[in-house]
Amino acid sequence: MAETVIERLSATWARTDRIFELLAADAFLAQPIALRHPFIFYVGHLPAFAWNHICAGVLGLPSFNAGFDELFSRGIDPDVDDPTHCHAHPEVPDSWPPLAHVLAYRDRVRAAVLDSVDAVVERAGTQAMARDGRVFAMIIEHELMHQETLLYMMQQLAFDLKVRPSWLPPVTLGGGRPLDTAQVPAGTATLGAALTDLGFGWDNEFPSVQVFVPAFRVDQTPVTNRQYLDFVTDGGYRRSELWSRDDWEWSRAEKLDAPPVWMEKDGRRLYRGLFDLLPLDSVADWPVYVSLAEARAYARWQGKRVLTEPEYHRAAFGDPTGAERAFPWGAAAPDERHGNFDFQAWSPTPVGACPEGASAWGVHELVGNGWEWTETPFSGFPGFEARIPGYPGYSADFFDGKHFVLKGASWATAAELVRRSFRNWYQAHYPYVFAKFRCVSNG
Ligand SMILES: [Fe+2]
């Protein structure tokens, strides 16, 4: 196991480094999303999390930089508007330490983590987080999730604060098209997982629960920029009757009149990608990335609604025999044939271009090309326990009725995170996620 752990750690760190290399030298203090820390925090946070859970947590090693362990231990949560409600996080400092000091801390932690692998394996019999290398899986998944967060922060960053890398694949503009709708018959969906099902899972994935789902009709492909443009030009952002009261007030306060990555210049609509400004027409078949509030308004405009978490499970994993699949396409491990995830494209791709990833009912892209918004508030399954040592609020801090479940994966989601029980969550008014949606109607 030790060799695999070391390989997985090294691969994860290599990608993190590649992502930070996308930043211009003077961009580490930039804070493109006001409710998130500047980038330098994340340079320190990833190693601090590893140190605190592996070296201090499992092995009880003495700290070599207690100040950094604490300063970088937890981020501000962009999703909680009442900070007294959640677990405390460290004070935001008046100024951040020099980048070179943070990088030196990172390197020292990485070396200590590599040195700790055998000692952790030896404690498998006595410490829950050491069993099956669980603590390593946790810090790797934590880092993989932050890679995506960093990229959607970079998506908001001005072009002159980013360095376009030579390895960036060209954007894909053709080869897909929106499809029609599919009927999913009534049946049972299994959400979550049993503890014995997974080598590692986050607290919110356990235990499993069976839910009966009535029949419904669902879009086979996510809503595209072109389809969404019809809503915009039909006055979708000016028609309060299409929005819930909360969503409407938020959209007015934010002065929204189109998705955040759309721009208008000299009367032309443009799309702001990570490194390119593209004519909106050219990316018309990419899924539109919007908040849940905007997705709901579009769905209401269509006389439909956004799908629920149980409906997502039925659409993705159900099949006509009554069995449930591990992945929409079957049992095969996720790879590039099945969808746009795992940093292949570094951008959205046209919808419907990946038929091999379709589910038994012919529903496409339930995994990949953007997280899938659901209309289900994030909460624990019956029997939920906050079970991560040293991190009791990982999920439970967000069981507040304001956060909603997202499923699947985006282009910036690592294949390691693609599993049926994995759940992501954001507020309905958080517009920065690489998140798409589709509509359903009662079948
Ligand atoms: Fe974190």
- CA 212 – ligand 1 centroid, Å: 34
76 Cα–ligand 1 center, Å: 9
Q: Distance, CA 127 to ligand 1 centroid (Å)?
A: 22
**Residues in contact with 150: Cβ distance below 8 Å, sequence separation at least 6, in sequence order:** 19, 20, 39, 42
CA 73 to ligand 1 centroid distance, Å: 8
Which burial class, exposed, middle or buried, applies to 394 when counting CB atoms under 10 A from its CB (0-12, 13-18, 19+)? middle
Query: How crowded is residue 402: how many other Cβ atoms within 10 Å of its Cβ?
Result: 19
What is the tens place of the pLDDT at every residue in 58-92? Answer: 999 999 999 999 999 987 654 444 433 444 566 67
Measure 218 CA to ligand 1 centroid, in angstroms: 34
Distance 143 CA to ligand 1 centre (A): 7
Question: Ligand 1: distance of its center to the CA of 141 in Å?
Answer: 10
CA-nearest of 178, 191, 437, 181 to 318 is: 191
Torsion 335-171-34-263 (CA) sign? negative
From the CA of 295, how far away is ligand 1's center (Å)? 27
* Ligand 1 centroid to residue 118 C-alpha, Å: 25
CA of 100 to the centre of ligand 1 (A): 21
CA of 82 to the centre of ligand 1 (A): 19
Q: List the pLDDT tens digit at each of the 443 positions of the chain.
A: 777 999 999 999 999 999 999 999 999 999 999 888 999 999 999 999 999 999 999 999 999 999 999 999 987 654 444 433 444 566 678 799 999 999 999 999 999 999 999 999 999 999 989 999 999 999 999 999 999 999 999 999 999 999 999 999 999 998 889 999 999 999 999 999 999 999 899 999 999 999 999 999 999 999 999 999 999 999 999 999 999 999 999 999 999 999 999 999 999 999 999 999 999 999 999 999 999 999 999 999 999 999 999 999 999 999 999 999 999 999 999 999 999 999 999 999 999 999 999 999 999 999 999 999 999 999 999 999 998 887 888 999 999 999 999 999 999 999 999 999 999 999 999 999 999 999 999 98
Cα(22) to ligand 1 centroid in Å equals: 20
Q: How far is the CA of 69 from the centre of ligand 1 (A)?
A: 13
CA 240 remoteness from chain centre: 29
